[in-house]
Structure 1
Amino acid sequence: MAEGNSYDCDMVESLAAKFIAEKAQDVHINEENIKKLASTIMEFFLDTFENKLPTISTHFLQKFDTYSFINDRNVADWLFVVHTLNFSLWNPNNTKQWRVNGAQGFFGLCAAMKKISEKGMRTWDPRCYSKMMQCEFEHIFRGDDETPIPLIHERCRILHEVGEVLLNKYKGTFVECIKASDNDADNLVKLIVNEFESYRDEAVYEGLTVTGL
C-alpha cells in the first residue's frame, strides 16, 4: 500500500455519509422510500437472475464482445485499463459525440480497445501504455469521424500514472493487485484507492474530506 495515503474506506464512507446527511440543506433523505427502493431493486434482480438472465447475457455478449479475443492471463489487465479510462466520455450537448464503430460512451471505449487490440497492440500491458505519447493515444482512440476522445491529455496522463505503479510495485500486472488483496473485493477497492491516485475520488465538504466510493 502507498505509505501516507492509506485509510479505511469503510470508515470514511460511513462517517462521510452520516456527516453529509446531517449537514445537507438542499437534499432530504426519505428513509421510508429508501426501504421501498431497496425492496424493488431486490425483486428486480431476483426476477432477472431467475427468469431473464440467459436473454440478458446473450444480448450483452453480442453487444459487448470485448475480451473474448484475449487469453485468460490478460483479461484482468484489459478490464483494469478499460475501467481506468471509463470516465466523462461525452462531449457537450449539440456537439459531435465520440463514437467508435457507431457505439458511444463505455461501449465506444470497449470497441476502440478491441479494435486496436486485434491489430496487435498490447493495450492491456503497462509496458506499452505507460510510455504511450499523447499523439499515439489520439490516433489509437480516434472516433469514426475523427472526433477525438474527450479529455485526451487527462486520460493519457492517468494511463502513465497507473502503468508506472503496476510496473514498479506489482510486477507489471493488475493480477498482482488481486493477489495482494487475497481475492477479496473490499480489500481490492481499498488497495486501488490507496495505490492509484486517479481512483481517489475525494472532495472537501464543510471542512471534511469525503470520498465518492
Structure 2
Amino acid sequence: MLYKDEINCTVDHKFAIYKSKRKKKNIEVQQYANPVLESAYFISKNSKDVFIPQDSIQEAANTIYSNMKKLKYSVSVWKQHELHPKVANEDAINWIFLVDLLNFSFWSDLEKEKGSDCRERFSIYYKDKIYSGYWSLCAAINRAIDEGIQITNPSVYASPENLSDDKIKYIFRSHTSEEIFLLQERINCMREAGKVLVEKFDGSFINCVKQSNNSAMNLLKIITDNFESFRDESEFLGRKVQFYKRAQILIADIWACFEGYDYGSFNDIDDITMFADYRVPQALFHLGALSYSQNLHNIINSFTLLPNGSQLEIEIRGCSIWSVELLKRLIQQKIKQDNTLDLIPILNTIILDFYIWDFANEHKNTFKVGIHRTRSIFY
C-alpha cells in the first residue's frame, strides 16, 4: 500500500511548497518548488514494485527521531567527519565541488561473495587508515593535495596538459588490486566540468554560488543547466523525471560546511530533497519506510544489475525520495509537540538524509536486503 499524500499532519510551507494540482491523461501531477520532489511524488503514485508502507512508516519516523535526539544530530556533523574540510572558504567549496563531481559508483562486485566490508575491494590508504566507499574518494583527494597536486583547481583538471589521465589514475591508485570504478567516466567528468568552470565561471565554483543569490533552487538550475554530468534525469511513463542526486548533495555539502552562513546561506535550502543513491533506500527498507515486491526483492538479493533509467531503478529512487519527504513531515510534527527542541535545532531533508546514510553505513551488515546495483555516473 502506498502511504497517502494526504498524510495526517501539519506541513510547514517552508518545507513542502505546494503550488497547484492538475490532471493530465488521468494521472495526477503535483507541483513543488523542486522538480525532484514533483518527480518523486509522481513516481510514488504510479509505482508497481516499490511501496511506502502506511502501517510502518510512522514507526520508522519514531525510531529515527528517537535516535537523532540521542545523538543531538545537527548540521555540525558534516565537519566532524575526519576527511571533510574544517575551514569554510573558497578552497573548501572547490574541494566539495570536485568530490561531488566524482561522488558515484563505489559498490564492488566482490561484495557478492565476500560482503560489503571485504578487504579486497577498492580502497585508499591514507594517514595510516584504509578508507572505502565515499570516504575512499575523499581520502584520495586529500592524499593528492598532501602530495602537492592541485587536484581541486578546475584550471588544472580541465586540461590533460596540466593533469594527465595517467596522473589522475595515479591519484586514485588503490590499496588493493581492485581499481576505482568508471575511471574514464570520472576523467571525462573532470574535463567537462573543469572546462565549463574556466570558460564560464572564472575558474571557480564559488562564482556559481554567488550567481545563485542565496537560492538553493537557483544554484540547482545553474548546476544542471551548465554541467552535463550533473543532469541526472530519466523518463517514466512518458514523462521526464529528475533526481539530481549529485547536484543536490553538492549544494547540501556547501550549506553544511558553512553551517548555513556566508556562502552556505540559502533562503530555500529546505526545498532540497533526499539524495537518491543506492545506500539510503537499503536503510529505508530496513526501517520499514520502504517495501519491495517479491520480484524486486529477489532481483536485488540475487545481485542482478538494474540498468540506469530502468523502471525498477526509477521506482526505487523516486519512492525513496518521497518516503524521506514523508518521514520529514512526521518528524517535524513530533518536534512541534516536543519540549526538547534544542536536541534537533534544524530538521530538514538534508539532515535526515545525512543521518540515514550514516545509519546505513554503520548497520549495513545487519540488513536483510542488499543495495540495488546500478553502475552509473549519477550515484
What's the TM-score once normalised by structure 2's chain length? Answer: 0.47
Q: CA deviation at 1:30?
A: 2.7
Q: CA deviation at 1:97?
A: 1.2
Deviations 1:151-190 (A, max 9, x none): 1100000011111111111111011111111233333223
Query: How is 1:1-213 mapped onto 2 (pairs within 5 angstroms)?
Result: 10=33, 12-31=35-54, 33-49=56-72, 60-61=80-81, 64-68=82-86, 72-93=89-110, 94=113, 96-101=120-125, 102-131=130-159, 132-145=163-176, 147-213=178-244
Contact 2:123 2:133 in 1 (8 A): yes
Deviations 1:34-62 (A, max 9, x none): 44434443443333227x999x789x44x
Change (3 A) 1:71 1:208: closer
Describe the SS at the equivalent of 1:192.
helix
Report the equivalent of 2:351.
none
Change (3 A) 1:138 1:162: same
Stretch deviating more after TM superposition (27-36 or 195-204): 27-36
What 5-or-longer segments of structure 1 have no aligned partner? 1-7
Q: Give the counterpart letter for 1:27 in structure 2.
A: V
Contact 1:138 1:148 in 2 (8 A): no
CA RMSD of aligned residues (A): 2.9
Change (3 A) 1:129 1:146: farther
Q: Give the counterpart letter for 2:234 in structure 1.
A: A
Stretch deviating more after TM superposition (190-199 or 31-40): 31-40
What's the TM-score once normalised by structure 1's chain length? Answer: 0.80
Stretch deviating more after TM superposition (139-148 or 30-39): 30-39
The whole-number CA distance in structure 1 between the counterparts of 2:140 and 2:52 is: 40
Describe the SS at the equivalent of 2:41.
helix
The whole-number CA distance in structure 1 between the counterparts of 2:242 and 2:215 is: 20
Q: Give the counterpart letter for 1:29 in structure 2.
A: I
Taking only the aligned residue pairs, the percentage that are identical comes to 28
> Relative contact order (C-alpha < 8 Å, sep 6+): which is higher?
2
What 5-or-longer segments of structure 2 have no aligned partner? 1-30, 115-119, 245-379
